[in-house]
Amino acid sequence: MCIAIPAKIKTLQGEKAQVDFGQGVLRDVNVSLVEAKLGDYILVHAGYAIQVLEEQEALETLSLWNDILAQAGQE
């Protein structure tokens, strides 16, 4: 199973971006496969941006992930 997580681009230099996965979790990501700009939400898999997302779609997906993680923490 493959999992891709939405993140927001905070800095962008060439093919490298620093992205925020939420709650201050920052990581470096390769954006060479997509046409992304500063402030865009992207879908990240294995250190690569694989798709640019609309903000609303990204926020809904992040909300679902937070719900899943919260439920997993209760078990």
Instruction: Let me know if domain 5-74 sits in CATH 2.60.40.420.
Output: no
Domain positions in the chain are: 5-74
Question: Beta-strand (E) ranges in 23-62?
Answer: 26-30, 41-45, 48-53
Residues 9-54 pLDDT 10s: 999 999 999 999 887 889 999 999 999 999 999 999 999 999 999 9
- By three-state DSSP, how is residue 28 classified? strand
Containing H/E element for 9?
Answer: strand 5-13
C-alpha span between 9 and 72 (Å, rounded) = 28
- By three-state DSSP, how is residue 42 classified? strand
> Sign of the C-alpha dihedral, residues 28, 33, 37, 43?
negative
User: Given this model, what pLDDT does residue 75 score?
Assistant: 67
